[in-house]
Amino acid sequence: MRGFEDIFSANRRYVEDFQSSELTGQAARGLAIVTCIDSRIAPLAIMGMQPGDAKIIRNAGARVTEDVLRTLVLATHLLNVSRILVMPHTDCRMASGTESEIHAAIFEKSGVDTRSVEIRTVRDPLKALEVDLDRIRSFPLLAANIEVAGAIFDVSTGALNPI
């Protein structure tokens, strides 16, 4: 635990002012956001929301994977989600190379062969977003009448650009 002292120390300070205990697991504003793990993205702040307003689903590249679909099934049936926004971003590492180039970069940096893992790189961000939106819209296990939209977050300006 030595490498985590800063985390637990910060948590002790956080607990002193914690005010979210009244929140439920429901998405108060009916929104689920699928976005990237990039730490430049603060989904709730970008949309003027607060904790409890939306469900945030993150992975590298903001891709709609099987696990994202599984999570959206739960969210749309049990957690008050009626809208889904897929929000990739500019300057994403997943859009900086091909699948084999990313595997090679990992191998070069760490010596670990990751070719057995699908990285899901994004050569054409707009095309990838369209594919992911279609994947959600056509998934039969989501609750009925879900609204689905896509937007690209610009990490240099903070703008959210609808697609």
In a domain, 3, yes or no: no
> pLDDT tens digits, the chain, 163 residues: what are they?
889 999 999 999 999 999 888 999 999 999 999 999 999 999 999 999 999 999 999 999 999 999 999 999 999 999 999 999 999 999 999 999 999 999 999 999 999 999 999 999 998 999 999 999 999 999 999 999 999 999 999 999 999 999 9
In a domain, 41, yes or no: yes
Q: Which amino acid is at 57?
A: I
Range of the domain at 94: 23-162
In a domain, 13, yes or no: no
> Is the separation of the CB atoms in 81 and 72 below 8 Å?
yes
Q: What is the pLDDT of residue 20?
A: 85
SS3 86: strand
**Number of helices (H) and strands (E), helices first, in the chain?**
5, 5
> Is the separation of the CB atoms in 79 and 112 below 8 Å?
no
In a domain, 6, yes or no: no
In a domain, 61, yes or no: yes
d(CA 39, CA 123): 21
In a domain, 2, yes or no: no
Q: What is the pLDDT of residue 104?
A: 96
CATH number, position 123: 3.40.1050.10
Q: Which amino acid is at 91?
A: D
In a domain, 62, yes or no: yes
In a domain, 93, yes or no: yes
d(CA 17, CA 113): 44
Q: What is the pLDDT of residue 123?
A: 87
Q: What is the pLDDT of residue 67?
A: 98
The pTM score is 0.93
Number of structural domains the chain divides into: 1
